[in-house]
Amino acid sequence: MTELTRFGISMEAGLLNQFDKHTAGKGYKNRSEAVRDLIRNALIEEKWSENEQVVGTVTIVYNHKVRELAEKLTHQQHSHHQEVISTLHIHLDNDFCLEVIVVRGKAKEVQHIADELIGTKGVVHGKLVCTTAGIG
């Protein structure tokens, strides 16, 4: 495990009180872990805003009985085969399918692929989760 470095943080009592309530609600055991997650999130946001190499998951729900929709979604993924690295497909019920598509590439391209999939007519819900291949 990487060696930990300790450092102090000064802030107003009211702000710290709100932060403690926020982190307790999320189940953090201590402030350090909560602060580490905030820092990781900030670094991931920076990678995305600077169009660096990123990884994301696109989750979509759609009705496979809608004419040509499944074919269209498959076609879109094939046309981005360099970036689309894996797809999980679950038949939710007789009509609806859930797909989780893992996309890796430049942030703008990953965002573009997500927008295209989520924006396809007939997709009833979609969301891109922006993450990273790793933080140094």
- Give CA angle at 123 (117, 127), nearest 5°: 60
Task: Determine what percent of the chain falls in helix, strand and coil, rounding each to the nearest 5.
Answer: 40, 30, 30
Please give the size of the binding site for Ni ion, defined by CB under 5 A: 2
Q: State whether residue 65 is helix, strand or coil.
A: coil
Output the smallest distance, CB 85 to Ni ion, in A: 20
Give the burial class of 25: count Cβ atoms within 10 A of its Cβ; 0-12 exposed, 13-18 middle, 19 or more buried: exposed
Q: Is 117 in the site for Ni ion (CB under 5 A)?
A: no
Q: Is 65 in the site for Ni ion (CB under 5 A)?
A: no
Output the smallest distance, CB 80 to Ni ion, in A: 20
Q: Is 97 in the site for Ni ion (CB under 5 A)?
A: yes
Which window, 32-40, 42-50, 78-86, 92-100, contacts Ni ion (CB under 5 A)?
A: 92-100
Q: Position 5: which residue type?
A: T
Q: For residue 126, what are its two tokens?
A: 């979609």
Q: Is 108 in the site for Ni ion (CB under 5 A)?
A: no
Q: Is 91 in the site for Ni ion (CB under 5 A)?
A: yes
Output the smallest distance, CB 128 to Ni ion, in A: 20
Binding site for Ni ion (CB under 5 A): 91, 97
